[in-house]
């Protein structure tokens, strides 16, 4: 466990997550008090100075996002906390919600102050419904203590947080689909523009952040010694929550400094592979993530390092380790099954692409494919990536495309079939 | 053979009362429709939204029944047909599959003599394949009425889990 750190997870186990008094006793809400004396842009600058990139997957510069959200003119604005952690293999937000709900709420209130919003929406996936009572009670306790409501701590900020539930739709992690869902409708992504930052929930300017991004705000504002920046690497400072699962001895959630290698994550933190098995591949960033081959294990876990190695730049922070018992094509079919199920069916490239790629993968698995099938596979995957309406279709074939590069032998055409 | 009663499709006083409570808990807010329907589903023994309940919710919230059905049919976690008292949701995503959740699924099918999507004659059990529910650290896992049972990698543990469902 040598490489694990504790910054965003510093409160885990230190207080009873059901008790606001417990959170206050370990210094809770001092970050909010500090934030309320600061200008919104200055808060955004703290995030920018620390080089924080959004933790939801798109890795957008968070300080920039907040100052842009503040720039947007509007009488009413919203903050959305995206807790629709739907990427298979990702469960880090679950730990943040369960172990430190108040740090998240504090981050959401600071976000409201910084961008000038009057409502915050916490959109949590149905699969975490067991955490609903905890969060509802946390919100209520904050209201009673005056951290939420009218004129918060005498600052003039009026801000409320509402808990909304998803219902098992992966696509609702996409900002505009999430907005539709919060409005009580089916979660189909909208055409863009207008973008969420101008026209999101209830057609109001909306600033959407991931649970981890928002949980990071309070500790960062209090980090006067620059601990966060001292972690990680020079071009990618800080720490990151990752969730490791699959064929490893100790699956779980870890907070790591950026710059750790994938090898260290698998062999040091997660205890290595299950006995007697060999590594086949690693999928990073959830089902929409690219595939890392065993030869790439020494890639540093930073946005730039991963991008240079042609891997998903961090994404959701999922690390799925797969051993030799699952074949590459078998794994791709599992991933494909997921996307075939989760495509919302609204746009043609994603709806039809997923269907036909699934059929072609069956053919590859059976070994009856021709070169033409492989070309079609690649063509459809490329069309989906460039022409889909939202991020789901754009990234659904990341695993396939990266496997075609890294494991070309899997797609090699058997000669007798090619002749036919 | 008529395996079980479909009587729940009428809105009785009891369910109407429960729905009123659910609506009140959500502040009668029509934008909370998804959460409201989830709670209604949890309140019905066979974990679905009877037609009469759907219309009742629509009327009380002042939204069109078509919007309620748009939502029910869109979201995987909402259902308009009766399911079972205990729906065994088996994770079908890669993190559980690489931990051999296929064997778990096969064991459940054999032990309950059921296929995916079928319901036992007494309406108690059914098996469904669902996408990742975020319990990858304890995979292979099953989720039953919101509760996750993990590490189901041998028959003993699977039987143990089934016996806890009562």
Q: What confidence score (pLDDT) does residue A414 get? A: 81
Contact B131 A323 (CB under 8 A): no
Q: Is the CB of B94 less than 8 angstroms away from the CB of A86?
A: no
Tens of pLDDT along A373-394?
999 999 999 999 999 999 999 9
Interface test with A, best of B39, B49, B132 (most A CBs within 10 A): B132
Tens-place pLDDT, residues B16-52: 999 999 999 999 999 999 999 999 999 999 999 999 9
Query: CB A127 to CB B143 under 8 A?
Result: yes
CB-CB under 8 Å, A130 with B131: no
Residues 6+ apart with CB under 8 A from A119: A76, A78, A79, A112, A159, A160, A161, A162
- Contact assignment for A184 to B147 by CB distance below 8 Å: no
- At A148-184, the pLDDT tens digits run 999 999 999 999 999 999 999 999 999 999 999 999 9
Nearest chain A Cα distance for residue B2, angstroms: 32
B124 CA to chain A: closest CA distance, Å? 22
Cβ distance of B92 and A337 shorter than 8 Å = yes
Confidence class of residue A417 from pLDDT cuts 50, 70 and 90? low
For A112-124, b/e burial (b = at least 16 CB within 10 A) is bbbbbbebbbbbb
Please give the residue of chain B at the shortest CA–CA distance from A124. Answer: B35
Q: What percent of chain A has pLDDT over 70?
A: 98
pLDDT at A125 over 50: yes
d(Cα A249, Cα A302) in Å, to the nearest integer?
Answer: 24
Give the chain B residue whose CA is nearest to the CA of A133: B25
- Rounded to 10 degrees, the C-alpha dihedral B125/B127/B128/B133 comes to 80
ipTM of the complex model: 0.93
- Cβ distance A164 to B35 less than 8 Å, yes or no, reads yes
Residues of B in contact with A128 (CB under 8 A): 134
**What is chain A's length?**
420
Point out the residue among A130, A188, A334 whose CB comes nearest to the CB of B146: A130
Q: Are A315 and A271 in contact (CB under 8 A)?
A: no
Nearest-CA neighbor of B34 among A188, A176, A181? A181
Chain A residues within an 8 Å CB radius of B37: 167
Q: How far is A94 from chain B (nearest CA, A)?
A: 8
Under an 8 A CB cutoff, do A167 and B137 touch? no
State pLDDT tens for residues A193-219: 999 999 999 999 999 999 999 999 999
> How is chain A split among helix, strand and coil, in percent rounded to 5?
45, 15, 40
> Which tokens hold the place of A396?
């659904």
Work out the end-to-end distance of chain A between its first and last CA atoms, rounded to an integer number of angstroms: 55
Interface test with chain B among A124, A127, A322, A396, by most B beta carbons within 10 Å: A127
Q: What is the mean pLDDT of chain A?
A: 95
Report pLDDT digits (tens) over A278-329: 999 999 999 999 999 999 999 999 999 999 999 987 889 999 999 999 999 9
Residue A87 C-alpha, separation from nearest chain B C-alpha, in angstroms:
8
Contact B38 A337 (CB under 8 A): no
pLDDT tens digits, one per residue of B41-99:
999 999 999 999 999 999 999 999 999 999 999 999 999 999 999 999 999 999 999 99
Residues of chain B in contact with residue A181, where contact means CB-CB under 8 angstroms, are: 34
Give the nearest chain B residue to A282 (CA atoms): B95
Lookup result for tokens 């590069």 = A405
Cβ-nearest to B95 among A167, A246, A344: A246
Which of A85, A243, A247 has its CB closest to that of B98?
A: A247
Looking at residue A182, its pLDDT comes to 97
Closest chain B CA to residue A244: B137
Condensed to tens digits (0 to 9), the pLDDT of residues B104-123 reads: 999 999 999 999 999 999 99
The count of other CB atoms within 10 Å of the CB of residue A372 is 10
Q: How far from A333 is each of A248, A279, A327, A361, B107, CA to CA, in Å?
A: 21, 19, 10, 7, 22
User: Once rounded to an integer, what is the mean pLDDT over residues A28-51?
Assistant: 96
A18–chain B nearest CA distance, Å: 20
Of B95, B100, B130, the CB nearest to A245: B95
Q: Helix or strand or coil: residue A180?
A: helix
- Which among A395, A367, A370, A392 is positioned nearest to A381, based on CA atoms? A395
Across the interface, of A88, A166, A342, the residue whose CB is closest to B95 is A88
Per-residue confidence (pLDDT) for residue A418, from 0 to 100? 52
Cα separation of B28 and A55, whole Å?
Answer: 34
Report pLDDT for B10.
Answer: 67
CB contacts, 8 Å: B75 with chain A: 126, 166-169, 186-187
């Amino acid at each position: 466990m040598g490489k694990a750190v504790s910054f965003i997870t510093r409160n885990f186990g230190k207080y009873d997550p059901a008790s606001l008094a417990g959170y206050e006793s370990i210094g809770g809400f001092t970050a909010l008090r500090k934030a309320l004396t600061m200008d919104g842009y200055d808060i955004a600058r703290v995030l920018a100075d620390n080089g924080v990139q959004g933790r939801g997957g798109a890795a957008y510069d968070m300080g920039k996002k907040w100052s842009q959200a503040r720039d947007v003119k509007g009488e009413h604005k919203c903050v959305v906390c995206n807790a629709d952690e739907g990427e298979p293999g990702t469960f880090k937000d679950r730990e943040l919600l369960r172990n430190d709900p108040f740090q998240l709420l504090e981050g959401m209130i600071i976000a409201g102050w910084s961008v000038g919003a009057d409502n915050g929406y916490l959109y949590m996936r149905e699969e975490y419904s067991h955490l609903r009572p905890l969060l509802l009670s946390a919100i209520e306790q904050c209201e009673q203590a005056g951290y939420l409501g009218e004129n918060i701590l005498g600052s003039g900020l009026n801000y409320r947080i509402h808990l909304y539930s998803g219902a098992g739709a992966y696509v609702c992690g996409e900002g505009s689909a999430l907005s539709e869902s919060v409005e009580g409708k089916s979660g189909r992504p909208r055409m863009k523009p207008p973008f969420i930052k101008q026209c999101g929930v209830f057609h109001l300017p909306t600033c959407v952040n991931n649970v981890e991004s928002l949980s990071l705000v309070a500790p960062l504002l209090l980090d006067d010694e620059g601990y966060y920046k001292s972690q990680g690497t020079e071009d990618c400072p800080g720490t990151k929550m990752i969730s490791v699962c699959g064929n490893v001895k100790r699956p779980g959630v870890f907070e790591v400094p950026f710059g750790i290698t994938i090898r260290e994550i698998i062999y040091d933190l997660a205890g290595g592979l299950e006995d007697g098995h060999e590594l086949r591949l690693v999928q990073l960033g959830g089902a929409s993530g690219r595939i890392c081959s065993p030869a790439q294990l020494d890639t540093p876990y930073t946005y730039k390092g991963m991008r240079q190695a042609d891997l998903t730049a961090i994404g959701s922070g999922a690390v799925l380790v797969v051993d030799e018992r699952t074949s590459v094509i078998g794994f791709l079919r599992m991933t494909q099954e997921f996307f075939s199920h989760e495509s919302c069916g609204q746009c043609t490239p994603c709806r039809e692409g997923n269907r036909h790629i699934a059929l072609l993968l069956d053919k590859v698995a059976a070994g009856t494919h021709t070169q033409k099938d492989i070309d079609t596979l690649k063509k459809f995957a490329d069309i989906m990536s460039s022409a889909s309406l939202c991020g789901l279709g754009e990234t659904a074939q990341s695993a396939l495309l990266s496997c075609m590069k890294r494991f070309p032998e899997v797609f090699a055409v058997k000669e007798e079939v090619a002749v036919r | 053979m008529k395996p079980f009663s479909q009587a729940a499709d009428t809105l009785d006083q009891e369910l109407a009362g429960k729905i009123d409570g659910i609506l009140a808990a959500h502040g009668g807010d029509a934008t909370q429709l998804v959460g409201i329907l989830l709670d209604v589903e949890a309140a019905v023994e066979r974990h679905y939204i009877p037609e009469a309940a759907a219309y009742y919710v629509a009327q009380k919230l002042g939204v069109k029944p078509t919007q309620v059905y748009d939502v029910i049919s869109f979201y995987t976690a909402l259902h308009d047909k009766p399911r079972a008292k205990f729906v065994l949701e088996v994770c079908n995503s890669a993190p559980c599959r690489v931990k051999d959740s296929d064997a778990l699924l096969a064991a459940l099918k054999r032990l309950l003599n059921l296929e995916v999507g079928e319901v036992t004659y007494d309406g108690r059990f059914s098996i469904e394949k669902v996408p990742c529910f975020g319990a990858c650290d304890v995979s292979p896992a099953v989720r039953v009425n919101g509760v996750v049972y993990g590490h189901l990698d041998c028959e003993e543990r699977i039987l143990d889990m089934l016996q806890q469902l009562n």
